[in-house]
Amino acid sequence: MKISSFINGVYVDSKEQRNIKSPVTGELITPYSVATDAQVNEAVEAARAALNGPWGSMGIQERVDILYKVADGISARFDEFLEAECLDTGKPYSLARHIDIPRGAANFRIFADTIKNVADEAFHMPTPDGTGALNYTVRKPKGVIGVIGPWNLPLLLMTWKIGPALACGNTVIVKPSEETQLTMTMLGEVMNEAGVPPGVFNTVLGPGSRVGDKLISHPGLDAITFTGSTATGERVAEAASVGLRDASLELGGKNAAIVFADADIDKAIEGTVRSVFVNCGQVCLGTERVYVERPIFDEFVARLKAEAEKYKFGRPEDPETTMGPLISATHRDKVLSYYEKAVEAGATVVIGGGVPDMPAELAGGNWVEPTIWTGMAEDAIPMREEIFGPCCHITPFDTEEEAVRMANDSPYGLASAIWTENASRAHRVGAQMEVGISWVNSWFLRDLRTPFGGAKQSGIGREGGHYSLEFYTELTNVCIKL
Ligand code: 6OD
């Protein structure tokens, strides 16, 4: 299929073509058309017209039925979405089959259900004359929403925002990462087939520095929702402040895991391996700092190393593959620069630290080794900054207070994972974590009704369940004097 922006229900080409490269081989996958400034304007106008037209006036049940059809449309084309997502990202089919594509469909179903079942609040109020008044809230769509997302879980993370935005009656202009545009492009076809009116769902493709900037500074947007790096999140917040538009920001993390000596060590190893290495470490919720109670430290390090040794690089479609490449050569250089900085900071490299030897046909891909360090000081640069690669540092601790203090000593506050079989400690430590999402004896266990978002530099706002409705709707309080 042609890879171009989707505006007002049709795909639109432009003269400027850029190339999408395979992270697996470095070869060209396909050219795509970069959206022009005029096309960004057209997308915003189309979204406004749809909001003021058929979509804005549609009843909730009809909207919900259409969103179920979108979910069904993704499920019906499961294999095509799977292939496209893995072509773009290089991630193993075995991963995307279980996480990315099912969640892509679920994000429409769940938010259709949420909007159908939400109740409005009413406040009965006494008045001096004794007749009283009734207040009730009316939820309205916020308007035209800019949706900007990352390359690590493209379908999952974009639909996590598009699902609730559309369920609440908004219209969207979606700007996927330039690295991963295939599944968002396919979603245009699915929207048309599901009967989503033209202009409700639009995409604009291109580099963030041009197309993204043009979109976020467009005065026609009523709100912006963004998932990505903290640095870009600050730019989005700045742009959104002009005209006082609302912004929801899901940003970076430097997430900690704390493993107590009373943990079920098998479960702690299994969960930590996943949280460090899944998707080649490119998950905002991923663990990069592991704190292990001293009596089990040596055993834990040895077992995590043994698990890391089992990873198999390869093509996404190969059922043996358990680790893909990083998304781009630029990102690989960044991750490798942290591998160097760790050594400069005195780290002991337990495993990895470099680039694996790959067969000739895959040598152009962005491969890096899964890497574990010990021995770094807590203030070393690789301990403070988000790396977003398949790596972690393991630090021993002696007391609960020390572990909590070190885990919380971070500019970020997205997620954490505590491993303990002591129920009191689970509650006590779980609640002390300065993060948006504190897991105990699990990681990435998601109930989509729960608030998702970060503290500190990991973001502003929460999405999920009715928290998404807070962002994607505007409340009007109607006060009726009785
Ligand atoms: O599971 C989700 O809803 C979610 N927003 C995951 C984010 C992962 C970040 O890489």
Reported as a single tens digit per residue, the pLDDT across 293-342 is: 999 999 999 999 999 999 999 999 999 999 999 999 999 999 999 999 99
C-beta of 160 in contact with ligand 1 (< 6 A): yes
Residue 101: the pLDDT is 98
> Which CATH fold topology does 255-447 show?
Aldehyde Dehydrogenase; Chain A, domain 2 (3.40.309)
* Most ligand 1 atoms within 8 A of CB, residue of 107, 111, 452 to mutate: 452
Q: What is the pLDDT of residue 130?
A: 97
- CATH 3.40.605.10 positions along the chain are 5-251+458-481
Closest Cα to atom 4 of ligand 1: 157
Task: Tell me: pLDDT of 190 over 80.
Answer: yes
259 CA to centre of ligand 1 in angstroms: 23
**Would strands 133-141 and 122-125 be described as parallel, antiparallel, or unpaired?**
antiparallel
Distance 294 CA to ligand 1 centre (A): 32
Q: Decide whether any atom of ligand 1 lies within 6 Å of the 99 Cβ.
A: no
The C-alpha atoms of residue 219 and residue 245 are separated, in whole angstroms, by 9
Domain with CATH 3.40.309.10 in the chain: 255-447
Angle between helical axes of 60-76 and 182-194 (0-180°, round to 10)? 130
Query: How do residues 238-296 score in pLDDT, each as one tens digit?
Result: 999 999 999 999 999 999 999 999 999 999 999 999 999 999 999 999 999 999 999 99
pLDDT above 90 coverage of the chain, percent: 100
Of 91, 107, 227, best ligand 1 pocket probe by most atoms within 8 Å of the beta carbon: 227
Average pLDDT over the chain reads 97
User: For ligand 1, what atom is nearest to the CA of residue 464?
Assistant: 3
Q: What is the pLDDT of residues 143-158, one digit of tens each?
A: 999 999 999 999 999 9
How many Cβ atoms sit within 10 Å of the Cβ of residue 406? 17
Q: Tell me if 388 CB under 6 Å of ligand 1.
A: no
What is the structure's pLDDT at 350?
A: 98
Pick the residue whose CA is nearest to atom 9 on ligand 1: 284
% the chain with pLDDT above 70: 100
CA of 359 to the centre of ligand 1 (A): 33
pLDDT value of position 455 = 98
Q: Does 152 contact ligand 1 (Cβ within 6 A)? A: yes
3-class secondary structure per residue, the chain: CCCCEEECCEEECCCCEEEEECCCCCCEEEEEECCCHHHHHHHHHHHHHHHHCCCCCCCHHHHHHHHHHHHHHHHHCHHHHHHHHHHHHCCCHHHHHHCHHHHHHHHHHHHHHHHHHCCCCEEEECCCCCCCEEEEEEEEECCEEEEECCCCCHHHHHHHHHHHHHHCCCEEEEECCCCCCHHHHHHHHHHHHHCCCCCCEEECCCCHHHHHHHHHCCCCCCEEEEECCHHHHHHHHHHHHCCCCEEEEECCCCEEEEECCCCCHHHHHHHHHHHHHHHHHCCCCCEEEEEEEHHHHHHHHHHHHHHHHCCCECCCCCCCCCECCCCCHHHHHHHHHHHHHHHHCCCEEEECCCCCCCCHHHCCCCCCCCEEEECCCCCCHHHHCCCCCCEEEEEEECCHHHHHHHHHCCCEECEEEEECCCHHHHHHHHHHCCCCEEEECCCCCCCCCCCECCEECCEECCECHHHHHHHHEEEEEEEEEC
| Ligand 1 atom nearest 286 alpha carbon | 10
Determine whether the shortest distance from the Cβ of 153 to ligand 1 is under 6 A.
Answer: yes
In this prediction, residue 141 has a pLDDT band, given cuts at 50, 70 and 90, of very high
Q: Is 284 in the pocket of ligand 1 (CB under 6 A)?
A: yes
pLDDT of the residue at 471: 98
CA angle, 344 then 275 then 348, to 5°: 25
pLDDT band at 1 (very low <50, low <70, confident <90, very high): confident
Instruction: Please give the model's pTM, rounded to 2 decimal places.
Output: 0.97
In the reported structure, the alpha carbon of residue 313 is separated from the centroid of ligand 1 by a whole-number distance in angstroms of 24
For residue 157, how far is its CA from the centre of ligand 1 (angstroms)?
6
Which are the catalytic amino acids? 250, 284
Cα 251 to averaged position of ligand 1 atoms, centre (Å): 10
446 CB near ligand 1 (under 6 Å): yes
Domain 5-251+458-481 grouped into CATH 3.90.1150.10 = no
Map tokens 């022009």 to a residue: 36
pLDDT value at position 217? 97
Sheet (strand 144-148) strand order: 10-12, 5-7, 201-203, 171-175, 144-148, 223-227, 246-250, 459-460
Is the minimum distance from the CB of 157 to ligand 1 under 6 angstroms? yes
Ligand 1 geometric centre to CA of 437 (Å): 11
Q: Looking at the CA of residue 107, tell me the nearest atom of ligand 1.
A: 3
Res 2: pLDDT: 81
* Distance in angstroms (rounded) separating the CA atoms of residues 287 and 443: 9
